[in-house]
Amino acid sequence: MERTFHGEIYLTQYLDTQGTLVQPLPENPQLAERLRDCYRNMVLARALDTKAIALQRTGQMGTYASMLGAEAIDVTIGLCMQPSDVLVPYYRNHASQHIRGAAMEDLLLYWGGDERGNANPAMNQDFPNCVPIATQALHACGVASAMKIRGEKRCALTVCGDGGTSKGDFMEALNVAGAWQLPIVFVVNNNQWAISVPRAIQCGAPTLAQKAFSAGIRGEQVDGNDAIAMHEVLSRALERAREGKGPTLIEALSYRLSDHTTADDATRYRDNEELKAAWEREPIKRLQTFLHQQGWWDEAQEKAWQSEVALMVQGAVERYLSTDPQPVESMFDHLYEEMPSSVQEQRDWAQVKAMKGGSHHES
Amino acid sequence: MKYFKLPDLGEGLPEADILEWHIQEGDQVTTDQVLVSVETAKAIIEIPSPQDGEIAHLFGQAGDTIHTGEPLIEFANEEQEDTGTVVGEISAAEPGTSKDSFIIGAAPSSRNHQQVQATPAVRALAQRLQVDLNSISGTGQSGHITPDDVQKAADMNRLHGPVEPLKGVRKQMARTMSQSHAEVVPVTLFEDADLHSWPADSDITMRLIQAIAYACAEVPILNSWFDGQSMALRQHEATHLGVAVDTDKGLFVPVLRDIGTRTTDDLRTGLECLRTDVRNRTIPASELQGATITLSNFGTLAGRYATPIIVPPQVAILGAGVVREHPVAVNGQLEIHRLMPLSLTFDHRVATGGEAARFLAALIKQLEQPFDEQL
Amino acid sequence: MSHNITMVEAVNLALKRAMHNSEDVVVLGEDVGPNGGVFRATVDLRDEFGPRRVLDTPLAEAMIAGLSIGMAAQGLKPVAEIQFMGFIFPTLEQIMCHAARLRNRTRGRLSCPMVLRAPFGGGIHAPEHHSESTEALLAHIPGLRVVIPSSPARAYGLLLAAIECPDPVIFLEPKRIYRASKQAVEDNGIALPLDTCFTLREGSDITLISWGAMITETLQAADQLASQGISAEVIDVASVSPLDSETLLASVQKTGRCVIIHEAPRSGGVGAEISAILAEKGLLALQAPIARVTGYDTVMPYYRLEQHYLPNTQDILESAQQTLSFS
């Protein structure tokens, strides 16, 4: 018998769970500054995330999906992508969105039930948060197709969770990416949980990365809590895509340290001991330990940065809280390029109903 | 709450080391009682209990690191808080329960309803011409009202004055009489009762009622209900007498129950009650139903003989006319006696002429007694 | 045995009863196992009936629908949960092209007695896609049944009926009222009929027709009309497809006036179908135009504006009053 295919999946790691280097650092004269950049953004991401949860708990914001534990993954996505690339996120990409131009208050507006959170021109051509699972993977392929058709040196990057890889849309996206050799990077945040469904029963394959084989594209695993590894693997994959060398599927191994959303309670279905152990592997502490060891970060910088972060987050919260809700007409103003007359009539009615004495007047 | 999780300690500090537990598993604690001292990068913090309760389990020992959101303590005998959703808020019930109340399909009043059928255009026309749609019948297919029907009705109104649809008791009477005419085969027997032996103060109505009760006992077939559809006869043990009462609103026939067993005084009181209720329009529907035979005493007004109409499913009705003084022949001699004219209509589908005659004879025999005594 | 329970608990009770009555009933979906479903509709089922009959699936709605079709054809009775109606759209191909027509295209040799349950509707302050009310899309599919309860007791009876039904049923649960009230529900295993509306209030002056969570506001409007001396008949459509037009027509024949209420968008909503039927067959009894109180023809707004989108009791009242004063 002739072996017609043989596949291998490699796992990249630079820092072990204790923050100790397990292989030589990548060659990069700017590495220290890059990693400091990562670290600062990861700390900011966590601070905003914590604040978002608090806002929800105090009734000032709606249901929120925390990214606790995914800081290394999301920050490196934001930092490694170029402005001309396009991000096609799912709903746990707050950090990368912010790094790429979304204001923090935009993010809060989105979760606060206001469509303007998706509207900031600074978000460029990036797609907004995507809730229907994995549907964004196909959009990313579309974006990448356009880039390829026009011969541009740009790429698309899309993210989903381990649950998302079970969906047809995801598999279809991989397939077309491979068939057409699209300039695209797929990042799977494998945080081990799809709400209450553990990774073990989500898929029978030992790695999610090997789904790449089914599409004929490059697949690899990376320690998602290791910012250095994430940075390296992403940079390579993005550059490959931009240069027309094809797509990559990156499976970032991580752990969801939070509940699925602020309405979920993971203690219903998840072992506390497992959670505790996962905290031992968390990304911010790991990078911090390493940076301290290298002499690239210290207490004074930490203190200063924490203060600055607190101010930034506070400013964003204040701007969010002081934003008035959209007028009721806004429900109708963005359905079509030009408003059809039937919609105009309903718009008028809605305005009337919102006025004093109307059935929908908000007093 | 069941699980008390490490609260946010502020200032970007997601983790803390447990220094010392101040309570043990099994202890009862109160709100704000210090549970544990933890050490962060910045300070030592004492964490108070959020509630009263019994400690079921401590997560972690001194020296362990614990993070924001991680369970710290499990309280005993507590329900785990559950939002019961993964997004948004589902608001919970007020205490208390209700019973679900519903009819499968259409309500009874919908099932039985007959609605005037007319297109919106016809309705508008009727309104313009001031024609009441309820007062006309439609000549359209399946009986709906056409513009022509409305026009003709309007013309009639103009020439002959407005038409007023029958309502209430009059409408019911029109229906009942039509139904009777269509179904019953009536024969009326006429006879006089000689009242010359009656004392002066006799109560005519009471004597009539008692005589009817007697005759029903003698010839029960005239005290029954007949269903022409199924050709079935229902004989009654008791006699419930419908008593025709004339009012300006129309004819009411309240029912005097069980006339065969009640005393005269009881009957008199009962009848007076019924009459009062009719006059005051307070008579309930149930008091107008269930008669087994009817008395129409038009003798209080005018008239001698009549052909009173039977109300189905009854099979007989007695009409009593004006009591008059009349010459009679007694043993070849002329005397003036008081006579009461009687008209008994019976349904010949059910009773024979002989049965009706025997009923009338018994009735008259009882009536002609000086006093009401059982014969 | 009588239970004092909410609608979602009634769903749970019906599932337990059905699974108890037949080994063939299998529950599948995302998070339905140990988590008991994100709304707790399947709580305790796994403990009671085991992992063989209560299946946590991988995350893939088309797969869930397709799997159900195959299971049903094999004689199992799958009761699948789609976590939110907003995520039912991947199932449409499987439902439209297969579940709804399997019996027809095999002339009865194969059939598809499956149930797809999904919470639907807005008003819970949720992120986008979690408040959809698109029952009309499903009602448009021949061969499919669409059933929507509006009370705990009827949720119990109708879900049992859906599970016993030999046809594919989409069972949409109005999540806004999942826990809004408790009712006494007998766990008697008795199914309600699937081909009929329910008359909740008998009345004579106007007919109010609705389904799902809007029944709550419709009954409130009926109460307010009653205090004004107006007798409103309230009908819960419940079986949105196929429709029981007899009950609706009988009521409108009696009252001559009607308002249809739904939170789904106006154009092409089920209210439009009901309007057409009433106009076709009930025209001669109508004394006023058929009114519809509906959501706008807009994408469901993010939650901050949600209350401006959803019809409320006042809207129903105003429409009823207009209809009553039409002459």
- The 10 Å CB-count burial string (b at 16+, else e) for A70-79 is bbbbbbbbbb
Single-letter amino acid code for the residue at A259: D
- What would the DSSP string read from start to end of B129-143? TT--GGGS---SGGG
- Range A335-340 average pLDDT: 93
Tell me which chains share at least 3 CB pairs under 8 Å with chain B. A, C
Q: Are B9 and B45 in contact (CB under 8 A)?
A: yes
Query: Is C200's Cβ below 8 Å from some Cβ in B?
Result: yes
Looking at chain A, which residue has its C-alpha nearest residue B16?
A279
Residues C48, C115, single domain; the answer is yes
pLDDT surpasses 80 at B73: yes
Residues C53, C159, single domain; the answer is yes
Single-letter amino acid code for the residue at C166: P
Q: What is the pLDDT of residue B373?
A: 66
Mean pLDDT of chain A: 96
Minimal C-alpha gap between B110 and chain C (Å): 5
Q: Are C283 and C275 in contact (CB under 8 A)?
A: no
Scan for tokens 């019961």, then name that residue: B84
Q: Are C51 and C27 in contact (CB under 8 A)?
A: no
The catalytic residue positions of A are: 256, 260, 269
Q: End-to-end distance of chain B based on CA atoms, in angstroms?
A: 90
Asked if A50 lies within 8 A of B67 by C-beta distance, the reply is: no
Looking at chain B, which residue has its C-alpha nearest residue C151?
B100
Contact map slice: C 217-236 vs B, CB within 8 A: 233, 236
Residues C28, C169, single domain; the answer is yes
- Range A192-217 average pLDDT: 98
Q: Are B209 and B241 in contact (CB under 8 A)?
A: yes
Cα–Cα distance for residue pair B225/B349, rounded to 1 Å: 12
Cα–Cα distance for residue pair B74/B209, rounded to 1 Å: 87
What is the ipTM, given to two decimal places?
Answer: 0.90
When scoring A279, A292, A297 by the number of chain B Cβ atoms within 10 A, the one with the most, hence best to mutate, is A279
Nearest to B358 by CA among B184, B208, B217: B217
Backbone angles phi and psi of A15, in degrees to 5:
-110, 130
SS3 (DSSP) at B47: strand
pTM of the predicted protein model? 0.79
What's the CA dihedral at B91, B97, B100, B101 to 10 degrees? Answer: -120
Fold annotation for B118-160? Dihydrolipoamide Transferase (4.10.320)
pLDDT surpasses 60 at C284: yes
pLDDT surpasses 60 at B374: no
Q: Are B72 and B6 in contact (CB under 8 A)?
A: yes
Looking at chain B, which residue has its C-alpha nearest residue C119?
B85
Residues C43, C167, single domain; the answer is yes
- What would the DSSP string read from start to end of A270-316? S-HHHHHHHHTT-HHHHHHHHHHHHTS--HHHHHHHHHHHHHHHHHH
Residues C160, C228, single domain; the answer is no
**In Å, how far from its chain's centre is CA A276?**
24
pLDDT surpasses 80 at B375: no
Q: Are B345 and B188 in contact (CB under 8 A)?
A: yes
Please name the member of A132, A202, A325 whose beta carbon is closest to the beta carbon of C305: A325
Q: Where in chain B is the domain with CATH 2.40.50.100?
A: 3-75
Beta strand C145-147 pairing with C183-186: unpaired
Find chain C residues with C-beta within 8 A of A328's C-beta. 305, 308
CA atoms within 13 A on the CB side of A256: 29
Minimal C-alpha gap between A70 and chain B (Å): 14
Residue C174 tokens, joined: 């109005």
Minimal C-alpha gap between A335 and chain C (Å): 7
Looking at chain A, which residue has its C-alpha nearest residue B3?
A267
Residues C146, C220, single domain; the answer is no
Tell me which chains share at least 3 CB pairs under 8 Å with chain C. A, B
- Range A122-128 average pLDDT: 95
Helix/strand/coil percentages in chain C, nearest 5: 40, 20, 40
Q: Count the domains in chain C.
A: 2
Other Cβ atoms closer than 10 A to A114: 25
Among C3, C130, C140, C262, the one annotated catalytic: C130
When scoring C304, C310, C315 by the number of chain A Cβ atoms within 10 A, the one with the most, hence best to mutate, is C304
Q: What is the pLDDT of residues C290-307, one digit of tens each?
A: 999 999 999 999 999 999
Please name the member of C130, C192, C197 whose beta carbon is closest to the beta carbon of B88: C130
Can you give the residue ranges of every domain in chain A? 11-321, 327-363
Looking at chain C, which residue has its C-alpha nearest residue A164?
C59
Asked if C151 lies within 8 A of B100 by C-beta distance, the reply is: yes
Q: pLDDT band at residue B13, thresholds of 50, 70 and 90?
A: low
When scoring C2, C39, C199, C246 by the number of chain B Cβ atoms within 10 A, the one with the most, hence best to mutate, is C199
pLDDT surpasses 60 at B229: yes
C118, C153, C186 — which closes off a domain? C186
Which uninterrupted H or E stretch holds C234?
Answer: strand C232-236
> Which percentage of chain C shows pLDDT scores above 90?
97
Please name the member of C89, C266, C303 whose beta carbon is closest to the beta carbon of A62: C303
Beta strand B333-347 pairing with C145-147: unpaired
Indicate whether C204 belongs to any domain: yes
**In Å, how far from its chain's centre is CA A124?**
16
Looking at chain A, which residue has its C-alpha nearest residue B42?
A303
- What would the DSSP string read from start to end of A173-200? HHHHHHHHT-SEEEEEEE-SEETTEEHH
Give chain A's radius of gyration (CA, Å): 22
Fold annotation for A11-321? Rossmann fold (3.40.50)
Query: Is C35's Cβ below 8 Å from some Cβ in A?
Result: yes
Indicate whether C192 belongs to any domain: no
Q: What is the pLDDT of residues B231-276, one digit of tens each?
A: 999 999 999 999 999 988 888 999 999 999 999 999 999 999 999 9
Contact map slice: A 250-269 vs B, CB within 8 A: 257-261, 263-265, 267-268
Please name the member of A263, A280, A310 whose beta carbon is closest to the beta carbon of B11: A310
Q: pLDDT band at residue B98, thresholds of 50, 70 and 90?
A: confident
Q: What is the pLDDT of residues C48-64, one digit of tens each?
A: 999 999 999 999 999 99
Residue A240 tokens, joined: 């490959």
Q: Are B318 and B343 in contact (CB under 8 A)?
A: yes
pLDDT surpasses 90 at A38: yes
Minimal C-alpha gap between C39 and chain B (Å): 5
Q: What is the pLDDT of residue B170?
A: 87
Backbone angles phi and psi of A17, in degrees to 5:
-65, -20
Q: What is the pLDDT of residues C118-146, one digit of tens each?
A: 999 999 999 999 999 999 999 999 999 99
Find chain B residues with C-beta within 8 A of A280's C-beta. 65
Minimal C-alpha gap between A47 and chain B (Å): 6
Find chain C residues with C-beta within 8 A of B108's C-beta. 202
Which uninterrupted H or E stretch holds C28?
Answer: strand C25-29
Q: What is the CATH number of domain B3-75?
A: 2.40.50.100
Work out how many CB contacts closer than 8 A connect A with C. 121
Query: Is C40's Cβ below 8 Å from some Cβ in B?
Result: yes
- Range A79-92 average pLDDT: 98
When scoring B13, B40, B86, B89 by the number of chain A Cβ atoms within 10 A, the one with the most, hence best to mutate, is B86
Asked if A113 lies within 8 A of C296 by C-beta distance, the reply is: no
Lowest-confidence region among A241-255, A261-275, B91-105, B268-282:
B91-105
Q: What is the pLDDT of residue B65?
A: 84
- Range A72-80 average pLDDT: 98
- Range A161-187 average pLDDT: 97
Q: End-to-end distance of chain C based on CA atoms, in angstroms?
A: 51
Minimal C-alpha gap between B28 and chain A (Å): 23
Indicate whether C193 belongs to any domain: no
Looking at chain A, which residue has its C-alpha nearest residue C56?
A197
Backbone angles phi and psi of B313, in degrees to 5:
-90, 10
pLDDT surpasses 90 at B285: no
Q: Are C260 and C293 in contact (CB under 8 A)?
A: yes
Give chain C's radius of gyration (CA, Å): 19
Residue C190 tokens, joined: 């008795």
Find chain C residues with C-beta within 8 A of A111's C-beta. 127
| B interface residues, A as partner, C-beta within 8 Å | 3, 8, 11-12, 14-15, 59-60, 64-71, 80-83, 85-89
Query: Is C126's Cβ below 8 Å from some Cβ in B?
Result: yes
Find chain B residues with C-beta within 8 A of A55's C-beta. none
Residues C46, C152, single domain; the answer is yes
The boundaries of the domain holding residue C38 are: 2-186
Q: For the domain that residue C273 is a member of, what is the CATH number?
A: 3.40.50.920
C156, C186, C216 — which closes off a domain? C186
Looking at chain A, which residue has its C-alpha nearest residue B12?
A47
C160, C186, C212 — which closes off a domain? C186
Minimal C-alpha gap between C25 and chain A (Å): 22
Q: Where in chain B is the domain with CATH 4.10.320.10?
A: 118-160
Asked if B93 lies within 8 A of C244 by C-beta distance, the reply is: no
Which uninterrupted H or E stretch holds A350?
Answer: helix A341-354
Q: What is the pLDDT of residue B12?
A: 60
Q: pLDDT band at residue B69, thresholds of 50, 70 and 90?
A: confident
Q: For the domain that residue C123 is a member of, what is the CATH number?
A: 3.40.50.970
Q: What is the pLDDT of residue A285?
A: 95
Mean pLDDT of chain B: 90
Please name the member of A46, A54, A264 whose beta carbon is closest to the beta carbon of B12: A46
Please name the member of A166, A203, A328 whose beta carbon is closest to the beta carbon of C305: A328
Fold annotation for B171-367? Chloramphenicol Acetyltransferase (3.30.559)
More confident residue, B171 or B326: B326
Residues C127, C262, single domain; the answer is no
Residues C92, C48, single domain; the answer is yes
